[in-house]
């Protein structure tokens, strides 16, 4: 059943590839100055994904719209988001180490 909390969770899942795509659009720091609008968009998407994790759970309980689909999708969305965040952070750390050694 598609409820408002489930739609918010699906929107969160669909924002994850957008976040990854914007991250890879960022030019290499060795090639030039990073684009400010991409950094701002990445921060905004990160905040939106983080906030909607709370909002969808709150609305599901408040509106009594807890569903089996939502109980499945919410952990999937959060695990995917955290996994993506960890991979990107490791890539940034490795890139910084490579830059320092050159």
CB 35 within 8 A of CB 26: yes
**pLDDT for the residue numbered 29:** 57
What tens digit of pLDDT does each residue of 46-94 get? 999 989 989 998 999 999 999 998 889 999 999 999 999 888 888 878 8
| pLDDT value of position 32 | 64
Number of domains in the chain: 1
Higher pLDDT, 4 or 29: 4
pLDDT band at 101 (very low <50, low <70, confident <90, very high): low
Burial class of residue 53 in the structure, from the number of CB atoms within 10 Å of its CB (0-12 exposed, 13-18 middle, 19+ buried): middle
Q: Supply the DSSP symbol for 26.
A: S
Give the range of the structural domain holding residue 82, as residue numbers without chain letter: 4-101
Q: What gap in Å lies between CA 35 and CA 42, rounded to an integer?
A: 11
- pTM higher than 0.85 for the full model? no
């Amino acid at each position: 059943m598609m409820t408002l909390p489930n739609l918010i969770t699906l929107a969160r899942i669909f924002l994850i590839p957008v976040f990854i795509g914007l991250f890879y659009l960022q030019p290499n720091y060795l090639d030039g100055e990073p684009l400010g609008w991409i950094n701002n968009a990445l921060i905004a998407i990160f905040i939106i994904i983080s906030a909607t994790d709370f909002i969808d759970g709150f609305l599901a309980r408040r509106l009594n719209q807890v569903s089996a689909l939502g109980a499945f999708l919410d952990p999937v969305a959060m695990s995917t988001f955290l996994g993506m965040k960890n991979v990107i952070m490791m890539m940034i750390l490795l890139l910084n180490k490579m830059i320092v050694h050159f």
